[in-house]
Amino acid sequence: LCKLYEDVADLPSLQYDYVVVGGGTAGNVVANRLTENPDVSVLVLEAGPSNEGVLVSEVPFLGNDLLAPTGPYSWNYTTTPQTGLNSRAISYARGYLLGGCSSHNGMVYSRGAKDDFDRYAKLTGDEGWSWDQIFPYFLKTEKWTPPADHHDTRGQFNPSIHGTAGRISVSLSGFQWPDFQRRIIQTTEELPHDFPFNLDMNSGQPLGVGWIQSTIGHGERSSSATGYLEPNFIQRPNLDVLLHAKVSKLVNVTQHQGKPRFGGVQFRYGTSLFIAEASKEIILSAGAINTPQVLLNSGVGDHSTLKALGIPTVMDLPSVGKNSSDHSVLPLTWAVNSNDTAESITQNATRFNEASEQWNTSRTGPFVFALAGTHAGWLRLSPDSPVFDIHPDPSPGPGAPHFEFLFLPSGVNMPGHFITLLLALVSPVSRGSITISSDPFADPLINPAYLGSEFDAIALREGVKLAEKFFNAPAWHGYLGAPAINLAAMNATEQVATIRANVVSGSHMVGTASMSPRDATYGVVNPDLTVKGIAGLRVIDASVLPIVPGAHTQAATYAVAERGADLVKQTRAT
């Protein structure tokens, strides 16, 4: 019995209790949890194809192939010209397959700082979003799993803060780059004040340098599709998932207890339009780019903008699509005097084929390695940095980072051996937006406003200095060769210009359907994720987070989805 429908004609019904828009990271969690109750029916509408048998999604080492700008598993978005990036329009990756970005991302599992979540509690007026109350939801999603190489993991993580019974496998890397890794750890010993070793960056206290945990289990990617829609869930009689169904807007408005209520979801399958009806709730889980797009297409957004587009306003909510925040990433690459880098596999057909064969037969070897690396650092600006004259500290507290260092044992697509430091600004001041054109099926206009604030550009330059300090430690002597961009040889003005010319997207957008207190005149959803002023409609995905955390965003998204599903269930119970 296949409940994953490729063809709308096979779908048994177009009437459900709940319709979930988007079978991505959050949407599949919601669908799974709601259908635990056999008395409710759920339909998931996903625009993309199935994740099953998509090798580039399954094999961690091949993850980068998913990101090709014109690939079949990406929405292939481009941002608007970015003022802060010398007017460059840059690629903005989003997963276009079941599992959404969780089927397509870098697999880094990082939860964020206690300060991030305590700030969410403050910004929403709901203690339920605080670190202490969200923590059980992190555990609920997680299934801690031994790495594929079964190496001794003592001293690389703290077992007491991990879940063992969740749906998403999380593990330390199952393949090692000893030469590179040894130098990273040695630097924490040589410069412990600036770069202390952190046993486990997922404790709520992420500052320091430590081992990365990844959403990988037994050598394969673990996603919301593999975890929350595995066969015993997808075969539930009350759950249907339709692929290739692109939602345009919500329709069939009626009044319910003085509020407008949408009764249906319009979607395109092939060249025809259909409407799926939801008797209880519609849940938008289309992600931080597409959730605001669907809301705006439906007449939920800023009244004057909607009017200009000829869309009748159902609810005037000016914050829809505004307030996005995201990480800006500067790749810093060096040639190295070592052949212990990923190029030893990517640039050697024999080793590549051997690695492929090894993965096929035993799910071990280099192919279990995710190219996001094995170590990360979460670091702060110095408290007396002059950058705070431009803007007060945007981080949520002293335990949260301004920067991420992501250490990659690989580099540019050139012959040779390289390492890369992905330097991310994770506490941006800049805020961007998502807007639409009048065609509901056209791409939304994505403006993350990277480095739109002077603070962000200058802070990244401070981050470059921190990176130089790291790589000037004795551990790297004789190892590092020429940098791809020689920032050290530039003056401050040249450095900022070079940063603007080289920053790429962090792909961590949040905030476009942000939570705010129930009585606030701004924001899009209440702390229980219901859309303000509308009956029977919620947003459950990364768009509800008011500010980007100092972390990769999938762990927070899974936690939002788990709590969101509980909030839906509680509404029904009362």
Residues annotated within a binding site for FAD: 105-108, 247
Rounded least distance, CB 493 to ligand FAD, Å: 31
For residues 267 to 296, the per-residue mask of contacts with ligand FAD, x marking binding by CB under 6 A and - elsewhere, is: ------------------xxxx-x---x--
Report the half-sphere exposure of 109 (CA within 13 A, side-chain side): 30
- Asked if 23 touches ligand FAD (CB under 6 A), the answer is yes
- Calpha distance 354→329 (Å, rounded): 33
Q: How far is CA 323 from CA 182, 286, 319, 345, 465, in A?
A: 41, 17, 7, 42, 29
Query: Is 180 in a helix, a strand, or coil?
Result: helix
Q: Which residue is nearest to ligand FAD (CB)?
A: 24
**What whole-number distance in Å separates Cα of residue 464 and Cα of residue 436?**
36
Q: Catalytic residue among 104, 244, 327, 552, which?
A: 552
Which one of residues 67, 168, 295, 464 is an interface residue with ligand FAD (CB under 6 A)? 67
Give the active site residue among 244, 375, 402, 508.
508
| Beta-carbon contacts of residue 211 (< 8 Å; ≥ 6 apart) | 156, 157, 172, 173, 374, 375
The residue among 109 and 476 lying less far from ligand FAD, judged by its C-beta, is: 109
- Is residue 391 part of the annotated active site? The answer reads no
For residue 56, state whether it binds ligand FAD (rule: CB under 6 A): no
Q: Closer to ligand FAD at the Cβ: 106 or 432?
A: 106
Token pair listed for 55 = 């090798």
Q: Could you say whether residue 201 binds ligand FAD (CB under 6 A)? A: no
Site string for ligand FAD, 30-49 (x = CB under 6 A): ---------------xxxx-
Please return the burial class of 493, using the count of CB atoms within 10 Å of its CB with bins 0-12, 13-18 and 19+.
exposed
User: Does residue 553 touch ligand FAD according to CB under 6 A?
Assistant: yes
Residue 332's contacts (CB-CB under 8 Å, 6 or more residues apart) are 420, 421, 422, 423, 464, 467, 483, 484, 485, 487
Residues 487-516 that bind ligand FAD (CB under 6 A): 507-508
CB nearer to ligand FAD: give 487 or 556.
556
Query: Which one among 111, 380, 417, 552 touches ligand FAD, defined by CB under 6 A?
Result: 552
Measured distance CA(497)–CA(500) in Å, rounded: 5
Which residue has tokens 């459900």? 16
Using an 8 Å Cβ cutoff, are 398 and 207 in contact?
no
> How near is the Cβ of 450 to ligand FAD at its closest, in Å?
15
Smallest distance from the beta carbon of 512 to ligand FAD, in angstroms? 10
Q: Which of 22, 292, 331, 365 binds ligand FAD (CB under 6 A)?
A: 22
Query: Rule CB under 6 A: is residue 93 a binding residue for ligand FAD?
Result: yes
Question: E strand or H helix at 418, and its extent?
Answer: strand 418-425
Q: How far is the CB of 521 from ligand FAD (least distance, A)?
A: 25
- Ramachandran quadrant class, 112 (left: phi over 0; alpha: psi -120 to 50; beta: rest): left
Q: Is 341 in the site for ligand FAD (CB under 6 A)?
A: no
Q: The tokens 């890794």 sit on which residue?
A: 181
Output the CA torsion 366→409→77→141 (10° steps): 60
- CA–CA dist 380, 190 (Å, integer): 18
Q: Return the residue of 108, 300, 436, 529 that touches ligand FAD, per CB under 6 A.
A: 108
Is position 552 annotated as part of the catalytic site? yes
* By the rule CB under 6 A, 542 interacts with ligand FAD: yes
- Binding interface with ligand FAD (CB under 6 A): 21-27, 45-48, 67, 93-96, 100-102, 105-108, 245-247, 285-288, 290, 294, 372, 507-508, 541-542, 552-555, 557
Q: What are the residue numbers of the active site?
A: 508, 552
